[in-house]
């Protein structure tokens, strides 16, 4: 209930007491209007009788505001000044101050505890304050009932540090029910293989979910009219099967597509939170290499997954995820290699169809090699990049593994071959 001095003015309360003293209004009626108890009513009435002209119900704070130490004050200004420099740097994606991050920096780096209102107060006094655009009220809710029912998968590209020469791609996978981030890795380039690697990591660690939710990026979905390289083949939307989608089809995992950026809001919020803190930390630690950036990402990921209460679920993501698994509220299935395949490299791979020539050879970008199959037969090449220089090509014919070749990735020219 609002305080008395916020509900009524001094003159209004004086008028009530004057009418009470003149016996025009009952005291019980005035107490009900003012919302005060009997004892409080008579204390106020006694004060009014003593000095009607100067009577006031306004609240005056008697305790002086406690001053913070000069060293703490200096560190607040120092951190805010650094924030201002980052915001003014147009090459990195920061548009506003993050006072909660400043508070964390003071606690972790300087071992100084300061309240958030104090930091905001100093920011306003020293011109370190930007009015944020009015946002739509956060009204999202969890629509899934089980862990693994829907995995939100996406990527974004930003310059994560002012000292980095290039932008980095952040690829993440998030369980919709728990908001637990299952995968988060920085890459210098975004390809079909980086997304297949993300799927492999999730499937081998947590099992097979029921479905994946992605946007209409060409890595995930062929859209006729946009991906015009297929136009001469007269394919309509979804008739061509991207490499990433073939992996999920082999694993019997459904793919659902978001038709707008707004539909991906659930994963955009963790993205924004992670990117915001990663950029600030990378800048403070002079990070220039992606390995350093990944280390910082891992720290922030641990904070998000294991320490922070999510604003929608009102639970820490890890504990919500763990409780779902323990109580059998999960759609995750154990991963198993389906026959006739014999290795995970036969599933998490890039695929090519080739036909053997009269000498039982196939070629990729003018690179020829012999396979143990009959002439003029269709074979499937399943390619797994082992590292940055070597790829393993596994050759399948009539549901049998008929050969394995290690080939230089540069000779395969994967980027051109798979349009990634």
pLDDT in tens, 144-157: 899 999 999 988 88
When divided into structural domains, the chain yields a total of 4
Residue 397 lies inside a defined structural domain of this protein: yes
Work out the angle at residue 62's Cα, subtended by the Cα atoms of residues 60 and 64, and round it to the nearest 5 degrees: 120
DSSP 8-state assignment for residue 214: E
What was the pLDDT predicted at 294? 95
Report whether pLDDT(231) > 50: no
Average pLDDT over residues 361-366: 86
Q: Do 322 and 200 fall into the same domain?
A: yes
Average pLDDT on 49-69 reads 76
Please report the pLDDT score of residue 90 as a whole number: 83
99/105 Cα distance (integer angstroms) = 10
**Structural domain includes residue 185:** yes
Mean pLDDT is lowest, of 93-97, 225-229, 307-311, 355-359, for 225-229
pLDDT of residue 142: 54
Strands 211-214 and 151-158: parallel
> Per-residue pLDDT for 66 more than 80?
no
Residues 358 and 395 in one domain: yes
Check if the beta carbon of residue 408 is closer than 8 Å to that of residue 365: no
In a domain, 375, yes or no: yes
- Top pLDDT among 139 and 313 is at 313
Find all residues with CB under 8 Å of 103, minimum gap 6, and list them.
Answer: 114, 115, 116, 119
Cα dihedral 358, 361, 364, 369, rounded to 10, equals: -160
Which tokens sit at 294? Answer: 């990944």
- Domain assignment of residue 144, yes or no: no
Q: Is the pLDDT of residue 61 over 80?
A: no
Give domain status of residue 337, yes or no. no
Question: How confident is the model over 35-59, as a mean pLDDT?
Answer: 87
Q: What is the mean pLDDT of the chain?
A: 85
Confidence bin at 366 (pLDDT 50/70/90): confident
Same structural domain, 276 and 322:
yes
Do 165 and 239 lie in one domain? The reply is yes
Confidence of residue 251 (pLDDT cuts 50, 70, 90): very high
117/250 same-domain check: no
322 and 189 co-located in one domain = yes
SS3 state of residue 326:
helix
Stretch 14-25: mean pLDDT: 87
Query: pLDDT tens digits for 200-214?
Result: 999 999 999 999 999
Contact 346, 356 (CB under 8 A): no
State yes or no: pLDDT of 268 exceeds 90. Answer: no
pLDDT of 168 reads 92
Confidence of residue 306 (pLDDT cuts 50, 70, 90): very high
Rounded CA gap, 374 and 361, in Å? 10
* 170 in the same domain as 24: no
d(CA 350, CA 343) in angstroms, rounded, equals 14
Domain residues for the domain of 84 are 70-125
The answer, yes or no, to whether residue 230 has pLDDT greater than 50, is no
**329 vs 28, 180, 332, 334, CA distance in Å?**
57, 15, 9, 15
Q: Does residue 16 surpass a pLDDT of 90?
A: no
Mean pLDDT of 101-125: 89
**Percent helix, strand, coil in the chain (nearest 5)?**
40, 20, 40
Percent with pLDDT over 70 in the chain: 86
Would you say residue 315 has pLDDT above 90? yes
**Residues 161, 83 within the same domain:** no
The predicted pLDDT at position 136 comes to 55
For residues 277-287, average pLDDT: 90
In a domain? residue 118: yes
Q: Which residues contact 146 (CB under 8 A, 6 or more apart)?
A: 177, 210, 324, 329, 330, 331
Q: Is residue 378 part of a domain?
A: yes
From 125, 143, 159, the end of a domain falls on: 125
Q: Using pLDDT thresholds of 50, 70 and 90, give the confidence band for residue 86.
A: confident
* pLDDT tens-place string over residues 164-186: 999 999 999 999 999 999 999 99
Residue 94 has a pLDDT of 84
| Better-predicted residue by pLDDT, 366 or 192 | 192
Lowest-confidence segment of 127-136, 288-297, 318-327 by average pLDDT: 127-136
- Residue 13: pLDDT above 90? no
Closest CA to 195 of 246, 237, 250, 161: 246
User: Do 50 and 75 sit in the same domain of this protein?
Assistant: no
* pLDDT for res 237: 45
> Which 3 state secondary structure label does DSSP give 110?
coil
Q: Are residues 256 and 303 in the same domain?
A: yes
**230 and 349 housed in the same domain:** no
Do the domain assignments include residue 169?
A: yes
Res. 63 pLDDT band, cuts 50 70 90:
low
Q: How far is CA 300 from CA 105, 273, 276, in A?
A: 13, 9, 10
Q: Are residues 90 and 39 in the same domain?
A: no
Higher pLDDT, 274 or 376: 376
- Say which residues have a Cβ less than 8 Å from residue 53's Cβ, sequence separation at least 6: none
Pick the last residue of a domain from 326, 360, 385: 326
Domain's final residue, options 295, 326, 357: 326
CB neighbours of residue 51 within 10 Å: 9
Highest mean pLDDT among 5-9, 216-220, 263-267: 216-220
């Amino acid at each position: 209930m609002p305080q008395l001095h916020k509900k009524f003015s001094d003159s209004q309360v004086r008028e009530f007491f004057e009418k009470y003293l003149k016996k025009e209004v009952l005291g019980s009626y005035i107490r009900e209007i003012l919302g005060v108890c009997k004892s409080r009513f008579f204390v106020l009435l006694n004060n009014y009788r003593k000095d009607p002209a100067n009577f006031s119900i306004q609240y005056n704070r008697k305790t002086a505001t406690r001053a913070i130490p000069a060293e703490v004050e200096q560190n607040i200004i120092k951190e805010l000044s650094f924030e201002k420099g980052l915001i003014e740097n147009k090459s990195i994606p920061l548009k506003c101050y993050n006072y909660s991050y400043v508070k964390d920096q003071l606690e972790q780096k300087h071992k100084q505890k300061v309240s958030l209102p104090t930091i905001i107060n100093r920011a306003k006094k020293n011109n370190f304050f930007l009015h944020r655009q009015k946002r739509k009220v956060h009204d999202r809710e969890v629509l899934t009932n089980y862990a693994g029912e829907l995995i939100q998968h996406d990527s974004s590209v930003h310059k994560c540090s002012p000292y980095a020469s290039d932008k980095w791609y952040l690829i993440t996978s998030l369980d919709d029910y728990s908001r637990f981030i299952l995968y988060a890795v920085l890459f210098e380039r975004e390809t079909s293989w980086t997304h297949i690697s993300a799927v492999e990591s999730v499937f081998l660690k947590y099992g097979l979910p029921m479905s994946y939710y992605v946007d209409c990026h060409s890595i995930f979905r062929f859209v006729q009219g946009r991906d015009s390289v297929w136009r001469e083949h007269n394919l309509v939307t979804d008739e061509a099967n991207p490499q990433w989608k073939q992996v999920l089809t082999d694993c019997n995992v459904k793919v659902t597509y978001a038709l707008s950026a707004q539909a991906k809001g659930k994963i955009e919020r963790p993205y924004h939170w992670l990117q915001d803190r990663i950029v600030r930390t990378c800048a403070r630690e002079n990070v220039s290499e992606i390995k350093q950036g990944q280390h910082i990402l891992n720290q922030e990921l641990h904070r998000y997954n294991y320490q922070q209460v999510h604003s929608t679920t009102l639970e820490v993501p890890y504990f919500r995820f763990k409780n779902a698994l323990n109580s059998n509220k999960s759609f995750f299935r154990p991963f198993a290699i389906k026959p006739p395949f014999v290795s995970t490299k036969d599933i998490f791979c890039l695929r090519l169809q080739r036909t053997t020539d009269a000498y039982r050879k196939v070629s990729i970008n003018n690179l020829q090699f012999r396979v143990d199959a009959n002439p003029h037969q269709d074979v499937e090449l399943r390619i797994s990049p082992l590292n940055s220089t070597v790829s393993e090509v596994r050759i399948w014919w009539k549901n049998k593994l008929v050969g394995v070749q290690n080939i230089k990735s540069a000779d395969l020219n994967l980027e051109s071959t798979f349009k990634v």
